[in-house]
Structure 1
Amino acid sequence: MTMVSPSIASAARDVAAALVPHRTDIGEGVWNHIVATRPNLTSRAHTPLKLANAACHATNAALLQALANSASLEDIMPSTEVILATRALVQNGFSEDEVMSGYRVGTAYWCENWANAVEEYCPDPQLSVKVASYGTSFALGWLERVIGQVVADYRDEAERMSREGSVARAAYVRRILEDTDDGLDVGAASKDLRYDLTGRHVAFVLGRHPDSRDDAPLDPLARTLAMRLTASAPPLIVRVDLDTTLCWVPTAEVRAARIPHAPVLIGQGRPAHGLDGFRRSHREASEAVRVARLARRPAGTVTRFDDAELIALCSNDAAFCEDFVRDKLGPLTEDTDETRCLRTTLQTYFASNCNFRATAVRLGVHHNTVRYRLERIGGLLGRPPEQNRLQLELALHLADGIGLFTGVGTTASVNG
């Protein structure tokens, strides 16, 4: 605030000193005005309203004492009552807008009372206008200072509650996933989670992409994915940590869905029913996203367990899996134009049931070219490829699935 003349400061001290003995009535008047302009407050929990009332009285007393002592705004900090009231309001579901609106309404009413008091205790008409303006500016300056602190306290408390609530919810779901002794009260758990564990589900696991620099929560992405699949009932979304979110969508059919450019890898389980299905679909989604990471798939893809089942089965020990691929394919694992061509030919040959002409048609080349390439493959491997078809076909499939080659394997995604 700008400097004021001694006469204005003196008159303001006199008005404030006259009001100090009536601070309880003034504080109650401010509170009643807030309640009158916000009638829905009376239907809310009693404890936070009691604390808010105490904060209203404490604020009024602090303003009057500051004016009575010619204190500066820097000397007034949010009281303990204000901090406790803010936290209690958050804990009982009051929105940030509701809390801030209450402060503004109360301050405006306090300024109106100040102007009336100046008229009564400062009879000099030339001075009274300036004193009224000074007290109003002081209160509004206090409001501007305190609002910043209140907003910070509100958001800190809201974040703490969200974090603790997420941790508790994640721990509860984790117990459901791990407790397979059938001692779970499914009805009570469904009620607690607000999600029907007895219905049909498709599980998803969202994991932040390793290359992502974004640390925003993944919950909104899970909600977007769920809404694209079904709008019949709300999903169950559980934040495990900053980089992992679990999601169950109550549906038996999965329509095409994708979140392009999102900084996540998404694993999708198969549709399943009941509590066992809730657990099984989640296990499948977890394996699918593990395969997606192993294969270094691009952000935003949805990897289905149906398309990753064999890779998931064989790749729990990634190093052993890679050793198997290199042992079976030998020189074919090299990253050259020739070996890439030979691998494609061999995969197509196996897919064509080892028929030269069918392979040639699929590749768009002459069947003698296929024969030549297969002879070349046999020479590199030291034996005809038909002798170890199962191992070779599995090795080629795994190499694609774990992204062993620079041309990363097919992305099993639900394209939208």
Structure 2
Amino acid sequence: MTDESTIAEAAIGISERLYARLAETTGVIEDMVASQSPELTGDPALLGLLHATVAANVDTYFSAIRHNIPVADIAAPAVALEHARRLAQRGVPVNALVRGYRLGHSIALQLVLEEIRAAQLEPDLSLSVLGQMSTLMFGYIDEMSQQVVAVYQIERERWLESRNAVRALRVREILSGDSLDVDTMTTAIRYPLRRTHVAIVVWYPDSGGDRLSAAEGFIKHLAESLAVHGAPLFIPADNTTGWAWIPLPSTTWPDEPGVVEQIRGYALAAADEPWVAIGDPMPGVQGFRRSHQQALAAHSLAVASGSARVSAAGDPGLSAAALLGGDVEAARAWVGEVLGPLACATEPDERLRETLRVFLRTGSSFKAAGELLHFHVNTMKYRIQRAVERRGRPIAEDRLDVEIALLLCQWYGTAVLSALSPGDE
């Protein structure tokens, strides 16, 4: 049986012969990694860093063998850590970084095996040397991978936070309405401001913790489903809410209202059930601002009512309801004053309110309202009479107030309704 000192001496000899050809060894590994992981060589700067990283890792590995340094005591070369940081800044996936180390491990092990064969050692000694060097190599690659991935993740978070903070600041400057150079700002936020835009607010009201990643992922996949030309713009509003804009071809405005329905359908079918408020598609910088204002208004209404998971500014009556419902407490009091007991939060009152709302919207036509609600004319007359009686007074003198109150009930639901009156218990 070969003793450990003999194995260690032979391993050192193999490593020294490979180290003597460091440039050649490095070149073989680098060529393999570069050909199999092109993400790591996006430009000359990255290619230079890859070369330096491979050379530093090869040098460190063979030094560990020659000097019997435990893997746990080896720190990743500084250039390898800088390589990881630079990849994080470029948005290269961390999987590409880890795969590069695995490929390097594979080709380095092959080079070690070839050198052991060339040394013509005794068969048992050859196997023992290969076992020792491959064990150390695996431990080295595993340790280095962990260290560079940790640095990558820290840098990626820092870089995104810094970049997104600047981007969010520029977006808020655009929304403020200040004069600006459109082309300069387009470059700054990396979004085509001269296009047609549909603004979206996406949020998760019942979820704890940070849901921004989910919100951003939803917007990304939504944009892909719409086959739009250009990446969407997403900035965080808080840790559960994101603001987004999707660029549309200019020809979609105003002749393509269907895009809003596509967004609605996608949001309603989304597995993680985000809440979504959608502005109208509008062109240019002014459209960028106005569509966002509309989405914010729909968001405020949805938050206040708690009942419309997906809503759009173009939904009939929504924009007016959002304007009128700025102060929900005052709106509730006013609705109660206008509708009386008809503003109670009961199912019978809800049915009467809906009947009266449709009746007034159709110009007080029993026939037209009946057709919409699938009621006979006599049934419509009876239900309208019941609604007026429930209210407690005719609707002729303050018809507009009644219509507005019914609109607020439709959109805000229980947020503007009253509890049961004493006689209704």
TM-score (ref. length: structure 1):
0.80
Q: 1:345 aligns with which of 349, 355, 365?
A: 355
Deviation at 1:286, TM superposition (A): 1.7
Q: How do residues 336-415 of structure 1 correspond to structure 2 at under 5 angstroms? A: 336-355=346-365, 362=373, 364-365=375-376, 367=378, 370-371=381-382, 374=385, 376-404=386-414
Please say if 1:206 is aligned against 2:201.
Answer: yes
Output the amino acid matched with 2:375. G
Output the amino acid matched with 2:73. D
Q: Rate the CA distance shift 1:41–1:267 in 2: closer, same or farther, 3 A.
A: closer
Q: Is the CA contact 1:26–1:60 (under 8 Å) kept in the aligned structure 2?
A: no
Partners in 1 of 2:113 and 2:231 — Cα distance?
55
Q: Rate the CA distance shift 1:8–1:165 in 2: closer, same or farther, 3 A.
A: farther
Q: Is the CA contact 1:204–1:246 (under 8 Å) kept in the aligned structure 2?
A: yes
Q: Which moved more, 1:279-288 or 1:146-155?
A: 146-155
Aligned to 2:128, the other structure's residue is in SS state helix
Aligned to 2:413, the other structure's residue is in SS state coil
Partners in 2 of 1:156 and 1:100 — Cα distance?
16
Aligned to 1:270, the other structure's residue is in SS state coil
Q: How do residues 313-332 of structure 1 correspond to structure 2 at under 5 angstroms? A: 313-332=323-342
Aligned to 1:304: 313
Q: Which moved more, 1:359-368 or 1:393-402?
A: 359-368
Aligned residues: 396
Q: Rate the CA distance shift 1:53–1:200 in 2: closer, same or farther, 3 A.
A: closer
Output the amino acid matched with 1:196. P
Aligned to 2:94: 96
Deviation at 1:402, TM superposition (A): 1.0
Partners in 2 of 1:172 and 1:370 — Cα distance?
57
Aligned to 2:421: none
Q: 2:64 aligns with which of 66, 69, 72?
A: 66
Q: Is the CA contact 1:86–1:154 (under 8 Å) kept in the aligned structure 2?
A: yes
Give deviations 1:221-243, integer Å, cap 9, x for gaps.
223433444x3522432132542
Q: Which moved more, 1:275-284 or 1:302-311?
A: 302-311
Partners in 2 of 1:326 and 1:41 — Cα distance?
64
Q: Rate the CA distance shift 1:261–1:211 in 2: closer, same or farther, 3 A.
A: farther
Q: Is the CA contact 2:101–2:141 (under 8 Å) kept in the aligned structure 1?
A: yes
Partners in 2 of 1:338 and 1:105 — Cα distance?
70
Q: Rate the CA distance shift 1:26–1:86 in 2: closer, same or farther, 3 A.
A: farther
Deviation at 1:310, TM superposition (A): 0.5
Aligned to 2:297, the other structure's residue is in SS state helix
Q: Rate the CA distance shift 1:80–1:11 in 2: closer, same or farther, 3 A.
A: farther
Please say if 1:14 is aligned against 2:9.
Answer: yes
Q: 2:257 aligns with which of 254, 257, 270?
A: 254
Aligned to 2:276, the other structure's residue is in SS state strand
Output the amino acid matched with 1:111. L
Q: Is the CA contact 2:280–2:294 (under 8 Å) kept in the aligned structure 1?
A: yes
Output the amino acid matched with 1:10. S
Q: Rate the CA distance shift 1:97–1:171 in 2: closer, same or farther, 3 A.
A: same
Percent identical across equivalent pairs?
Answer: 24
Aligned to 2:396, the other structure's residue is in SS state helix
Q: How do residues 205-284 of structure 1 correspond to structure 2 at under 5 angstroms? A: 205-212=200-207, 215=211, 216-229=213-226, 231=227, 233-240=229-236, 241-242=238-239, 243-250=241-248, 251-252=252-253, 253-255=256-258, 256-257=261-262, 258-259=265-266, 260-262=268-270, 263-284=273-294
Q: Which moved more, 1:234-243 or 1:312-321?
A: 234-243
Partners in 1 of 2:379 and 2:290 — Cα distance?
48
Deviation at 1:397, TM superposition (A): 0.7
Q: Which moved more, 1:15-24 or 1:167-176?
A: 15-24
Please say if 1:32 is aligned against 2:43.
Answer: no
Q: How do residues 141-160 of structure 1 correspond to structure 2 at under 5 angstroms? A: 141-160=139-158
Aligned to 2:414, the other structure's residue is in SS state coil
Give deviations 1:254-280, integer Å, cap 9, x for gaps.
323122243222222223222212211
Segments of structure 2 that go 5 or more residues without pairing to the other structure are 418-425
Give deviations 1:45-64, integer Å, cap 9, x for gaps.
45544444444344334333
Output the amino acid matched with 1:84. E
Partners in 2 of 1:8 and 1:65 — Cα distance?
22
Q: Is the CA contact 1:289–1:303 (under 8 Å) kept in the aligned structure 2?
A: no
Output the amino acid matched with 1:59. N
Please say if 1:126 is aligned against 2:124.
Answer: yes
Segments of structure 1 that go 5 or more residues without pairing to the other structure are 408-416
Deviation at 1:389, TM superposition (A): 1.0
Q: Rate the CA distance shift 1:392–1:90 in 2: closer, same or farther, 3 A.
A: same
Partners in 2 of 1:344 and 1:277 — Cα distance?
34
Partners in 1 of 2:381 and 2:276 — Cα distance?
38
Aligned to 1:197: 193
Report the aligned-residue RMSD: 3.5
